[in-house]
Structure formats: C-alpha cells, structure tokens
Amino acid sequence: MAKRDYYEVLGVERGASEADLKKSYRRLAMKFHPDRNPGDKEAEDSFKEANEAYEVLSDASKRAAYDQYGHAGVDQSAGGGQGFGGANFSDIFGDVFSDFFGGGGRGGGRGGAQRGSDLRYTLELNLEEAVRGTTVSIRVPTLVNCTPCDGSGSKKGSTPSTCPTCGGIGQVRMQQGFFSVQQTCPRCHGQGKIITDPCPACHGEGRVEEYKTLSVKVPPGVDTGDRIRLSGEGEAGAHGGPTGDLYVVISVREHAIFQRDGKHLYCEVPISYTEAALGGELEVPTLDGRVKLRIPEGTQTGKQFRLRGKGVAPVRGGGAGDLLCRVAVETPVNLSRRQRELLEELRDSLEGDSSHSPKASGWFEGVKRFFGDL
C-alpha cells in the first residue's frame, strides 16, 4: 500500500515549524500508543506511521530530501521499513514521551559533574549609598566542598563502588508495552557509582554548609532590582562540578525626604502662607548639600521647581537627573488673637476682588454653570 504524505500523517502544513511538528506528533502518539490501545492493530499501525513521519520531518536534512523528492528521497535514510528501529527514535522518544512515561529523557550515559546552584542575596542600602556607591561586607550561607573527602562523599581511604542496579552505566531499561524505555538509574541517579562508606563529615553528600564573608563593591547609581554578579561565589558543584554564582540583588530603603524615580529625585517643600503670597528664598536639601531656592510671589500649592543635575547619575551611564521640588503651602495653626485679627483684616480687604484668587473665581464660575445646566 502506498505511503501517505508525511505532512498529512501529522496533520500539519508543509511549512510547519519544529514546535508544531512536535506538538502534532505528541498528540498522535498519545492517542495511538499501544499501551493505550492494547490489541488494536490499527492503532499500532497509526503509531508507527506517525513515528516514521516525525522521524523524517524533524531531521532538517531528511526533511529537505523529502520535500524535494518525496518518499523516494528518504526511503534509504529514514528507515522506512524498520518500524521502531530508526536511528533517531530514542531521541524522539526521550524528548516527546519523557513525561508520558514518568521520566526517561534522552539517552546520554552516566551522569557526571554537576554545576553548583546560583545563590541570591538581597542587599539593603540607603539612598545615599545607592547614589554614591559603597563597599559592604556580606555573610552568605552556601555549600562548599567537604575538605576531608575532597568532595567525593566517600570516607578518606575508600572509593565509590559500581552501582549494582545499572552496572555502572547510569541508565536502566524499563519495559513499556512491546518496547523498552531507557531512563536514569533510580539508585545512583545516573552517576554509575554508589558510596558504600560515606564520609562522616558530609554524610556522603560531598558538600557541607558554611558561611562565608564577601566584600561587595556597589557601583554608584544602583537602584532597587539591580543585580551584582559575583562569579564562582555560589554553591560548590556536585561530583567535582564548577561552582555556581552569587547574585547580589539591590533593595534601596525609603528615604525620609526624597523619592526616587529612575535618575530623578522628588521632594516636597513646605512653605508658609506668607512666603507663598510674598515670595522669598528658601534653603532646600540635596544629596550634595543645601542649595537656595527662590520662591516667586503668588506661588500656589503643587508648583514644582526643577534643580537640574541634582538627581542621580545612572549606573549604566548618562548624565545626572534632576531634583524636582514640589511646594506645599502650609496653613497656619494655633493662631494668637492678634494673628487672627490680622488675617481677618486681610480677608476683608480681599473680599469681592477676584483678581487675588483667579483659581477660586474660575472654579466657582464652573460650579455655577454646572448647576445651571442641571
């Protein structure tokens, strides 16, 4: 019987991506797998057909030959009559069916050295330290190689023995229906060896927990969320593997005066009622010291003044940002009798003249129009 088009078998277009091929193949394999359809010859044939189609189309060179010459271009290389004996079936199986069978993965041989885990340390700084940069010492818990056994996990003078379950291969075969599945040995976890006489210091782990003190140089301009990588300062690798890295994550504490937004700083400056009305000059704080800020007469609450270059120079380069000072007019409280009299005189003198309160008069006009439209 003539073979069906491989794209038709998998139910994909001819230009389908590798991800689409894998997704379609996975769906068909789950549907027609012999373990789900015991004794169903038609399902078994469909499963073989899908496997053959995926084996060809997932290989770039075979797919190119198939696209140009059809089945004739791949009959010799694709293993068309070999059923499950195709050269790439174990790779396809491990990649697509690993979770279906509860593990297995790609073939691969015995496990070897494993890189140590990366570590994360949150470093809290105040705003001044973050802006100017600093050097701090931190104490970090980590796993280091056990000194008595030099990271082997075996007691000094002894060596690991060959795993009796996998015979030192690190992989075992498990029967799944009518064919076998290769997966990591559950006893030695792919190492091929087991520790029969563990080191008393690390109990066979090869690593022990320690605290180490490190000096961290924080560059100027860092902000919350920035990371500093200390290469090789993470956990020691298992079985002689390389050490991981330590990532120091910056967290800047809230400041009593300033709020930061990127390279700009913001602060609120309270001014008195008379300063707002008459104008004047104030001293305002910056991270570099005090500066003079001129307040023009008639300043309203919310008015914002920009002090250029008084913000933060970003850690990744560029000019310093600005300091933006927002004015808040403070209403006087706890007035004396004389102060009240003076304010009442001022109120009486201003009454009826809307030129002194342009915002208020505009607002009241808007209110009148609003109620008039109702």
Architecture of the domain whose range is 6-97: Orthogonal Bundle (1.10)
* pLDDT tens digit sequence for 71-95: 777 764 434 333 333 334 434 444 4
Confidence of residue 177 (pLDDT cuts 50, 70, 90): low
More confident site: 143 or 269: 269
In this structure, whether the domain defined by 259-367 belongs to CATH 3.40.630.30 is answered with no
* pLDDT tens digit sequence for 27-78: 888 888 877 788 888 888 888 888 888 888 988 888 888 887 787 777 644 3
Choose the weakest-confidence range: 108-112, 251-255, 274-278: 108-112
Contacts of residue 60, Cβ cutoff 8 Å, sequence gap at least 6 = none
CATH class of the domain defined by 112-155+203-253: mainly beta
Q: How far, in Å, CA of 58 to CA of 335, rounded? A: 85
Scored b (16 or more CB within 10 A) or e, 307-325 reads beebbbbbbeeeebbbbbb
Rounded (5°) CA angle 284-346-358: 70
Same fold, 6-97 and 112-155+203-253: no
Domain ranges of the chain: 6-97, 112-155+203-253, 161-194, 259-367
Looking at residue 210, its amino acid is E
Q: What does the pLDDT read at residue 94?
A: 41
- The residue whose two tokens read 């277009």 is 13
Confidence of residue 267 (pLDDT cuts 50, 70, 90): very high
Confidence of residue 363 (pLDDT cuts 50, 70, 90): low
Looking at residue 167, its amino acid is G
Q: How far, in Å, CA of 51 to CA of 57, rounded? A: 10
